[in-house]
Structure 1
Amino acid sequence: MSSSTARSQIPALPVKTVIAASLIACFSLPMQAQAQQELPAEGELQSVVVTGTFAKNRRTIDSESPIDILTSRDLQSTGSAELATVLARLLPSMNFPRPTGADGSDAVRPAQLRGLSPDQTLVLVNGKRRYTSAVVNVNGTLGRGSAPVDLNAIPLAAIDHVEVLRDGAAAQYGSDAIAGVINIILKKGAAGGDIEVGYGQTQERDGKQKSIKGSAGFALGDDGWVRVSAEVADRGPTNRAGRDFSNPLEPRYGQVNLRYGDAESKPATVFINSEYHLGDNLDWYAFGGYGQRDTSAGATWRAGLVKNEKGDYITRSSIFPQGFLPIQNSTLTDQSLVTGLRGEAAGWRWDASLNYGSNKFKLDLDNTVNFDLAAASPTHFYVGSLKNEQTVLNLDAAREFPVAYFTGPLTVAVGAEARHEKYTIGAGEKASYTGTGSQGFAGFRPENAGSHSRHNESIYVNLEAEATKKLSGGVALRHERYSDFGSTTSAKGSARYAFTDALSLRGTVSSGFRAPSLAQQYYTITTTNFQVINGTNTAIETGTFAVNTPQARALGAQDLKAEKARNYSLGLQFQPTRNFTTTVDAYRIDIDDRILFSSNLILSTTLKNILAAQGTPVGAGRYFTNAVDTRTEGVDIVSTYRIDLQDKDRLDLTVAYNHNKTSVQKVADNPAILTANNLKLIDRQTIQRATVGSPKDKFSLAADYSFGIWNAHGVVTRYGSFIVPQNNALQDQHYDPQWVLDVSGSVKLGKNWRLVAGIDNVTNRYPDQITSAGNLNNGGTQPYSGFAPNGFNGRYYYAKAGYSW
């Protein structure tokens, strides 16, 4: 597909050319690095890591698994203030599209690691498990059916650095750690602080963003400290909707009636991190945050006219005779607190902690009606709420033991964890669910409402050792028991062999799992969905049913099982000098019983009658199911090179590449009741969305040049091709690769001030437009796909001013 826009473009290069270029860069830079050896280096590129290991002073170069470390400087290098967006720009294996018109997914956008489901990545804060979002992605977005952690609820102002473990780690951390682990390390200490104000807007003069953020530390007497970080922002919406030419009789024919772009968002967040030394070998710590994010997004345009039984057009609503756009106003509230004690006794380092977190999603609708209430309908509705809560109790201990004939000690780590989860659905006001309900999002009904909970307990053991100067390795074993689906055991083995000081080989083999979330088991609602049927965007009353309800059972639902994973990785590390390093890691991830959200089942008359008899008169139904076995294969290449210049000037170069492919190994049998009614629980689109919807590769080349008080930063990224699938293969939307260039510059004024200005998407590149075949672009009003990895906002300008002390 070629772009139909006339905006500036960079020629697309073949994938083989990109791979060749990255490999040339990887193996030509060492020759340059050898020439630079005599120059003084300010420090090695390697850093001590805490993710995926219990050993002391483990560096990235010593790790048996690939780990990326993103510093605070890295996180500030883009124009975005959203953590997920920043990670997607810095990590070659992360994808963070910008869905629109997708209900709750407009407020909580899902991110993918290695092309897998967003909820197959575990998120930690200071090494402690972060709770997941209450919002379930039930519309046609990437990650459909997932309820992942909301990364954007964590402000950049609070983050010191981020460690990303690109490997399966369920044996070490438990459920969800299939694609990898993101560990967010908060700023700490009483010394210093910073404050920054920022402003930006797009080339189209929308999407205006204003922000203020800061962090400051304070001493707690002589033995402790507390650091407070806060961030407030006002992010205006963008709109790239096309004019509506669908019906010449419409009062607003030819006008832009839709909101199609980023939602309006107003986040406000505060985080604390603290520690107090209680005595010899005993410390108390606490960290957590409170945040609220108000989001306003447009639903689908409701036309002013509708055909009556005679085929004549009549006014649809006397309240909005020209048509209307329902506005979804949501409020997300996040609360978290982790507190604990850690110390050392009898040679054991121990840590005992209590961890609580919750996410609540509350939704109101404005500028809409309930058609069944006619002229008596209100135009504002409270449609209900979702809340997810998690409480975790951890006890961990680790100790080093000398072992004969080993060059290093054996690190033994043991631990236990108890976790309680609760998921609550709150009903909306009666007018929001009466009849067909409020347009834009029908309210949660009293029969949908309720609380559901479960608990699980786990124990683990982890062994790590350096057997010789060349060989190191580790094994981990974890057993968990869930109150709702039973027990599971995960194991992991890893090893690293250094052929020379510059060249080593590493690899891991592990098993893992992901427990079905409470949201996947119990989310239920009846609402109006739009589906293209025979070329027409048709409204259908659709029931989303929990798997244990009579409605879901009538459609063939079964209890959900845990996803089971097997991870394999093999990597090459090359570090000829302290200023240069290259890693190449190949991986394979097999997942059995992968949970997907079913296709929208357009019910037959027989099935409609069965559900109507149960008090659920709907035209379509859907539920979660263990749908497929998949295999994901890929390779990550990351190469970094630092050139130390005169007068402490420095040039940092990074080449990164990810290639990723997911294929289906097995599809679960179709329920007999659906087969008898000519329906497929898992249709082609559902399967293909999980395999081809994200870019199959991603390449980036970044340069950071510091000279005197100035700094220049630039990164060019190539997002690979992807497909937005349909049930009719002839209507699949194929998207060409897209090149995006981001640049920024900064200057230090004195010791404290710093000014930054930059442009994201310098060449104003837009993704290919959706074709009109099958009316998938809704008459041209929705020209771009929400699957586009870099969104479709175009060029973005920004400036920031910061003061630090």
Structure 2
Amino acid sequence: MKPYTKKRTTSDAIPFSRLQLSSLIATLFITGLSPVAFAQVSADSDAAQVIVTGTRSVKRTVSDSEAPIDVLSNKDLQNTGSLELGTALARLLPSLNFPRPAVADGTSSNRPAQLRGLSPDQTLVLVNGKRWHTTAVVNVNGTAGRGSSPADLNTIPVSAIERVEVLRDGAAAQYGSDAIAGVINIILKKGAEGGEIQLGGGRTSQGDGNQRSISANFGTKLGDKGWARWTVEQKHQGDTNRAGPDLRNPLEPLYGRVNQKQGDPDLEQTQFGVNAGLALSDDLELYGFLQYSQRKTDAAATWRTAYSSGTTLRSPLYPQGFLPNLAANNEDVSAVLGLKGKTAGWRWDTSFNSGSNSFSLDVNNTANLSLGAASPTSFYAGKLKNTQTLLNLDAATELDIPGLSNPATLALGTEYRRDQYAISAGEASSYSGSGAQGFSGFQPSNAGNFQRHNLSFYANLEAEISRQLSASVAVRHENYSDFGKVTSGKLSARYVVVPELAFRAAVSNGFRAPSLAQQNYTISTTNLITINGSSQLVDTGTFGVATAAAKALGAKPLQAETSRNLSLGTVWQPVRNASLSVDAYQIDIDKRILYSGNLVLPASLQSLLAKQGVLVGAARYFANAFDTRTRGVDVVGTYQWQLADKDTLGLTLGYNRNTTSVSGVAANPDILTQNNLTLIDKQTIERATLSSPKDKLSLSADYASGAWNLHTQVTRYGSFVSPQNNPALDQTYSANIVADIAVSYRTGRWKLSAGIDNLNDKYPDKVTSNGNLNTGGTLPYSTFSPYGFNGRYLYAKASYAW
């Protein structure tokens, strides 16, 4: 890979001159000729349903949106059979990837989701249109989304959700940072009437992964003019294990046994929420919501053999070897309180939004090897906490502009945001000496409280220029206290050729601010690293870019990622009950932030860091690493059949294909070049560009007959690559087809359901024994598998509604 040589402008903004805009639109039409990819929408969603994502208009619907948007109902989510929102969305949206990593520290508990193959933190998550906070966990292991700290979708219970709107287009000019790949807006149930209690359970066909859940969602009145919608959910997930026998060393006491664990962690999660509104007058409403989630997980680290070398005992406490256990406690709290109304022809909304995510960790069934027989076997490793606080004011009005077929919508707004990130140290024995095996604790030198703030202003204008043509323009300016100013703009349009056929297009620029976690996350721990083709446990330090250790290795302050989004699509509705949409897109991202490769330090650099009190054999830090171009297409097709005797059949086709290419790589720091080290190596780049499926096809059918409903879905997951720095060790995993089926029966207020996920019991290819971190066959499956590696899962549910 050639060093990055592309010149950058000194301004963070990307200006839109007439010449540049013409060039971008021309490129947009060229992009439409690129290889095609597709994404999915609910088969039973109404094309005339009013949407709230990506628009400030009060009458924008799915069918007349100027950008592709999927609307998924609670019924759609429930039909997947999953208790997790992330998994449900991945089954419904071919453009969304949600793998199940294992043996990956905090990532095993907080799994990230990818939209359009981009980084998980390049998708913005909203709840009721309000920005949702991101997780405190930094994904620092070799998984999808390595280096990201995205929002945790699984902190929101499925039973609380009315619908999910997924905008597949850049929207930084409308919502600010992170909205490069798109926006996921989760709309909560509302109203005082009705409710539902649901019980569920299931297990894999191998007899593990037992799940059970109970949830309740119901409404109550608040006085005469108010309502509150309550949600309570409790669920348990037993662990799964698909590890292989350990055949590496015949001298080991437990040679030939399955000592490692590779699969889902043991999980207990409690969730509570309330969504409420109170009319104070005809034109004034007080509203708010509160969401709380506590998730406790027990996940396995890497098996420690009895002997460190030859017949030298690793720890006198474990003469047969030991498997460290990571017990994580993840607490997530979000609260929004707002007031909205109408004044002098303006609709306005002002709100206070506070959210936080904390992650604390205990390491059990382990030892600090430097303490010998005196070592404890359990350690408190420390805590991470991410907090977001926002104040915003939005206002919109309709303008009668001469020559327009309908009034235009003008929206203005401002927002103040404060971000905080904190690292708290663990107990001294967790990090002193060799530290706790499995996860060395956060040291006092790692601990700290970091914060920043930013102020933004936006304007948006939407208009129907004629009966055939609608268009909108948006601009947003933000000023961050740590890296400066950035301006984003967006122009979109929709043209109706005939009532059955319309074209839509959008061009925008955007950005993603480096997270405080990426700027400041610092820890030293033991990691499994491939060195000269073999997997070895190495003490590895991750250093915030402002630390002396990172600076000594060439680190520079992080800048914002900047993007340019182009899309061109068509919507065809030949008859009322059938539709087809095709949307091609191109996303260019400059200065993408990556977590560096494992820099295995030579003696000279180890000595340099030792003088600062840092004792590690390898190092990592974040950097603005490279520029990329992602091209693809999303397509959705739906058809509703009205059969005899009022039976109905709904069919949905969805397909996504996208490719990401590298257009430039940042220059390697001089200090690393002098020591034959590469900051952004082949494996780091290709994890970000090749490890998600290159395409995904889904076909689903929903048949309703009286009290019976049948849902079937077949999904083809395309091939993906698990890259290594040595190209000869790369492994390409073949495409696979996974089938799901569910049936339900309604009698009175009761609904009984049963289903089978992965009906054909499909597993991904096994990791070959060529050095791809399978540690001699004990870890046989890739963490990049888009459908995991648990095999067939059977479940049943019963619900009572009123």
Map of 1:81-230 to 2, 5 A cutoff? 81-230=83-232
CA contact (8 A) 2:535 2:771 kept: no
Q: Residue 792 of structure 1 aligns with which residue?
A: 789
CA offset digits 1:506-538 (Å, max 9, x no partner): 000000000000000000001111112234321
Task: Return the offset for 1:404.
Answer: 1.0
Task: Return the offset for 1:314.
Answer: 2.0
3-state SS of 1:60 partner = coil
3-state SS of 2:60 partner = coil
Query: Is 1:767–2:769 an aligned residue pair?
Result: no
Task: Return the offset for 1:20.
Answer: 11
Q: Residue 644 of structure 1 aligns with which residue?
A: 642
Task: Return the offset for 1:575.
Answer: 0.8
3-state SS of 1:61 partner = coil
Q: Residue 700 of structure 2 aligns with which residue?
A: 702
Match of 2:530 among 525, 529, 532: 532
Q: Residue 349 of structure 2 aligns with which residue?
A: 351
Query: Is 1:259–2:261 an aligned residue pair?
Result: yes
CA contact (8 A) 1:44 1:578 kept: no
Task: Return the offset for 1:467.
Answer: 0.8
Q: Residue 323 of structure 2 aligns with which residue?
A: 325
**One-letter amino acid matched to 1:260:** Q
2: distance between equivalents of 1:255 and 1:573?
A: 57
Q: Residue 362 of structure 2 aligns with which residue?
A: 364
Match of 2:739 among 738, 741, 744: 741
Q: Residue 19 of structure 2 aligns with which residue?
A: none
CA offset digits 1:306-357 (Å, max 9, x no partner): 22xxxx4122111111000000000000111000100000000000000000
Task: Return the offset for 1:22.
Answer: 9.3
1: distance between equivalents of 2:66 and 2:708?
A: 37
Task: Return the offset for 1:673.
Answer: 0.5
1: distance between equivalents of 2:179 and 2:725?
A: 31
**One-letter amino acid matched to 1:168:** G
Match of 1:247 among 234, 249, 254: 249
Task: Return the offset for 1:791.
Answer: 0.4
Match of 2:801 among 779, 801, 804: 804
**One-letter amino acid matched to 2:97:** N
CA contact (8 A) 1:44 1:579 kept: no
Q: Residue 305 of structure 2 aligns with which residue?
A: 303
TM-score (norm 1): 0.94
Map of 1:519-668 to 2, 5 A cutoff? 519-668=517-666
CA contact (8 A) 1:45 1:578 kept: no
Task: Return the offset for 1:42.
Answer: 10
3-state SS of 1:689 partner = helix
1: distance between equivalents of 2:474 and 2:491?
A: 7
CA contact (8 A) 1:599 1:681 kept: yes
3-state SS of 1:53 partner = coil
Task: Return the offset for 1:288.
Answer: 1.6
Q: 1:171 to 1:286 in 2, by over 3 A?
A: same
2: distance between equivalents of 1:490 and 1:791?
A: 37
Task: Return the offset for 1:775.
Answer: 5.8
Alignment: residue pair count? 767
CA contact (8 A) 2:47 2:62 kept: no
CA contact (8 A) 1:83 1:151 kept: yes
Q: Residue 16 of structure 1 aligns with which residue?
A: none
**One-letter amino acid matched to 1:454:** R
**One-letter amino acid matched to 1:762:** L
CA offset digits 1:14-65 (Å, max 9, x no partner): xxxxx99999x99xxxxxxxxxxxxxx9994442100000011211111100
CA contact (8 A) 2:72 2:165 kept: yes
3-state SS of 2:214 partner = strand
CA offset digits 1:66-93 (Å, max 9, x no partner): 0000001001011211000000000010
CA contact (8 A) 2:38 2:94 kept: no
Match of 2:514 among 499, 513, 516: 516
CA RMSD across the alignment: 1.5
CA contact (8 A) 1:324 1:367 kept: yes
2: distance between equivalents of 1:596 and 1:318?
A: 40
Q: Residue 276 of structure 1 aligns with which residue?
A: 278
CA offset digits 1:123-163 (Å, max 9, x no partner): 00000000000000000001000000000000001100000
Q: Residue 312 of structure 2 aligns with which residue?
A: 314
Match of 1:381 among 379, 382, 393: 379
2: distance between equivalents of 1:790 and 1:148?
A: 20
Q: Residue 8 of structure 2 aligns with which residue?
A: none
Task: Return the offset for 1:600.
Answer: 0.6
Task: Return the offset for 1:749.
Answer: 1.2
CA offset digits 1:534-583 (Å, max 9, x no partner): 34321111110000111000000000000000000000100122211110
CA contact (8 A) 1:45 1:580 kept: no
Q: Residue 471 of structure 1 aligns with which residue?
A: 469
Q: Residue 441 of structure 1 aligns with which residue?
A: 439
3-state SS of 1:618 partner = coil
1: distance between equivalents of 2:119 and 2:300?
A: 26
3-state SS of 2:776 partner = coil
Q: Residue 21 of structure 2 aligns with which residue?
A: none
CA contact (8 A) 2:137 2:149 kept: yes
TM-score (norm 2): 0.94
CA contact (8 A) 1:45 1:579 kept: no
3-state SS of 1:499 partner = strand
Task: Return the offset for 1:605.
Answer: 1.3
2: distance between equivalents of 1:776 and 1:538?
A: 9
Match of 1:754 among 751, 754, 762: 751
2: distance between equivalents of 1:400 and 1:774?
A: 63
Q: Which deviates further from its counterpart, 65-74 or 576-585? A: 576-585
Gaps of 5+ in 2: 1-34
2: distance between equivalents of 1:775 and 1:765?
A: 21
2: distance between equivalents of 1:302 and 1:258?
A: 9
2: distance between equivalents of 1:555 and 1:799?
A: 54
Query: Is 1:776–2:778 an aligned residue pair?
Result: no
3-state SS of 1:231 partner = strand
**One-letter amino acid matched to 1:743:** I
3-state SS of 2:777 partner = coil
2: distance between equivalents of 1:496 and 1:55?
A: 15
Task: Return the offset for 1:714.
Answer: 0.2
**One-letter amino acid matched to 1:285:** Y
2: distance between equivalents of 1:532 and 1:462?
A: 51
CA contact (8 A) 2:544 2:621 kept: yes
